[in-house]
Structures are given as structure tokens and as C-alpha cells.
Amino acid sequence: MSSRPFSIGKSCWGVSALLFSLGVSGCAGLGITPPRSSGYSDALARYTQVDKLYVGLETQLDIQAVYRGSAFRRVYMDEYARVYNLSPAEKDKYLAAELDQAKSYEDFILVVNSTLSETNDLQKADSTWRIYLFRNGLQLGATSIQRLRWKEEFLNRFYPLANPWSRVYLVRFSIPPGTPETSSVSVSLSIAGPPGKATLSWKENFTAPVPEAAPAPITVPILNEKTG
């Protein structure tokens, strides 16, 4: 059996791979899954935003969104590699694929609850809702909205935001070709429709690469001639 990371990923219990067709040989053993690392828990908290949309006193939509920017993807792959016991080569391969995706797309995982199930239909062409992204002030329409049907084990391990009544979506936006690289990015996800609008925002600062120091000159010791 093969497993592949959530890029979007697949667990050893059969969660369908959604973004990549690459395979990883072997799954982690059937021992106890290691506890979630504090680094991943912190990243999940940092990159998750929550908003509620009310109609009267009722919650129309309860939205938890995880921004899968490049920084989150790095921490995610650390955790995935640890859980599934990937080799360093396997981890590097999937991390490279994740970061390559992040150059072309802005991805979000949405966990949505609604008191009216018929309005929890973000993936439908005739949905009540429209989803937009404002990226550094530029408005983008969603490239794709896909409802995810992950196994409970996978959700509990990597996205412990859902309950049995939640619907989970991947919302993807294409970064326009030729968009210049910047030292930071501000993104605001807007979910709007007749009942109202919910907005969730993030800001990511990128660390400038540290230039490699010039190699020190190689010095060859001068050997003194023997005397006498």
C-alpha cells in the first residue's frame, strides 16, 4: 500500500490524494501514533482564522480556515514525515512539491458548520455563496472548490477542527503568472452571499535568504627548506 502526503494528502487508511500523483512506498508501522508536536500545534493555531455569520440570533455559517502558505506547508511536512516515518529523501521530495505548489497557488482548508445543511454547499456551481481572495489588494476568484471526504483519523491528526457534522473544503486560488515576489503577503478570504459576508485575514512575512559567505581563501603552508 502506498501513502502520499496531504499536498493534499493520503493516509495509510485510504484517504484519496487530491493534488499530487506521487507515491510513497510503505506506511508507518501499526504502533502508537506519536503525539502531535508542539511546533505543528502552534503552526495550526497561528494559521487558523475563525469567523461566524449570523442571521438573526442563529449562526448561519461557522467557518474555520487554515491558510496553507509556504511556511505552514514546511511545518506540515515535518509533522507528516514524523507521523508516517518518511525517509529524508521522501520528505525532501514532497516538501519540494509542496513549495512548488505554493508558488502557483494560495490554498485554504475550510471547516464549515451550518444550522441549515442546504446552505453548506460551497462546492456547488449554484451555491448560495461566492468565495474571493484579496491578495496584496488584488481580488481573485476561486480556481476550484472541492469538498474533502477525509477519514476521521486523518482529520483528527492533522486538522482537528472538524466534528461529525462539519464539511471540509479545499479552496484554491491561482496566483497570476508574472506576480512579483514580495517580502510579505496579505491575504483576506471573503465568503459572501445574500445572508451576509464573512472575512478571514492573514499576513505572512518572508525571511530574506541569507547570502552565502564567500569561501575563505585556501592557504598552503610554506615549508621551510631543511638546513644543514
Distance CA 190, CA 141 (A): 10
* Whether the Cβ atoms of residue 151 and residue 144 lie closer than 8 Å to each other: no
The single-letter code of the amino acid at 18 is L
Look at residue 222 and tell me if it is in a domain.
no
Look at residue 225 and tell me if it is in a domain.
no
DSSP category for residue 117? G
The pLDDT assigned to 183 comes to 85
Identity of the highest mean pLDDT range in 33-47, 163-177, 208-222: 163-177
Residue of 185 and 20 predicted with greater confidence:
185
**Average pLDDT estimate for 131-138:** 95
What is the total count of domains within the chain? 1
Render pLDDT for 152-163 as a digit per residue (tens, 0 to 9).
Answer: 888 888 988 888
Among candidate residues 190, 199, 185, the one with its CA nearest the CA of residue 71: 185
pTM over 0.85: no
Distance CA 139, CA 72 (A): 22
Look at residue 170 and tell me if it is in a domain.
yes
Reduced 3-state DSSP string for the chain: CEEECCCCCECCCCCCCCCCCCCEECCCCCCCCCCCCHHHHHHHHHCEEEEEEEECCEEEEEEEEEECCHHHHHHHHHHHHHHCCCCHHHHHHHHHHHHHHHHHEEEEEEEEECCCHHHCCCCCCCCCCEEEEEECCEEEECCEEEEECCCHHHHHHHCCCCCCCCEEEEEEEECCCCCCCCCEEEEEEEEEECCEEEEEEEEEECCCCCCCCCCCCCCCCCCCCCCC
Q: How many CB atoms sit inside 10 A of residue 199's CB?
A: 15
Full residue range of the structural domain in which residue 16 is found: 2-205
Residue 14 predicted with pLDDT over 50: no
Q: How many CB atoms sit inside 10 A of residue 163's CB?
A: 9
Residue 121 predicted with pLDDT over 70: yes
Render pLDDT for 56-104 as a digit per residue (tens, 0 to 9).
Answer: 667 678 999 999 999 999 999 999 999 999 999 999 999 999 999 999 9
**Residue 151 confidence class, pLDDT cut points 50, 70, 90:** confident
Look at residue 53 and tell me if it is in a domain.
yes
The pLDDT assigned to 163 comes to 85
Look at residue 95 and tell me if it is in a domain.
yes
Q: Taking the mean position of all CA atoms in its chain, how far away is CA 171? A: 11
Look at residue 210 and tell me if it is in a domain.
no
Look at residue 183 and tell me if it is in a domain.
yes
Look at residue 219 and tell me if it is in a domain.
no
